[in-house]
Amino acid sequence: MKKLLISLVILLLASPALATTATFQNGIDSYTGEIDCFLDSDVPNTHRAIDGLQIRSYATPVIFFDLTSIPTTATVSSAVLTIKVQEVSNCTSETVQAIKIEDPDSSGVPSMSATETLGVGDQYANWLYKNDTNNTDWSSAESNDFTDVDDNAVEGSVSIAGCPGSYAFKDLTITNMVQDWVTTPAANAGMFFNCASSCGVNILGRFAETATDAPKLVIEYTDEGGGETTSRVILINE
Q: What is the pTM of this model?
A: 0.79
User: With contact defined as beta carbons under 8 Å apart, do 172 and 159 qualify?
Assistant: no
Report the pLDDT value the prediction gives residue 80, as an integer from 0 to 100: 96
Residue 66: pLDDT band (50, 70, 90) is: very high
pLDDT value of position 91: 63
CA atoms within 13 A on the CB side of 172: 27
Could you give the percent of the chain with pLDDT greater than 90?
25
Q: What is the pLDDT of residues 77-98, one digit of tens each?
A: 999 999 998 877 766 777 888 8
More confident: 204 or 154: 204
pLDDT at 229 over 50: no
Total tally of structural domains belonging to the chain = 1
Decide if pLDDT at 201 tops 60: yes
Q: For residues 98 and 81, what is the distance between their CA atoms, to the nearest angstrom?
A: 9
Cα separation values, 18 from 21, 74, 229, Å: 10, 11, 22
- Tell me the residue range of the domain where 10 lies: 3-237
Considering the chain, what is the average pLDDT of its residues?
A: 76
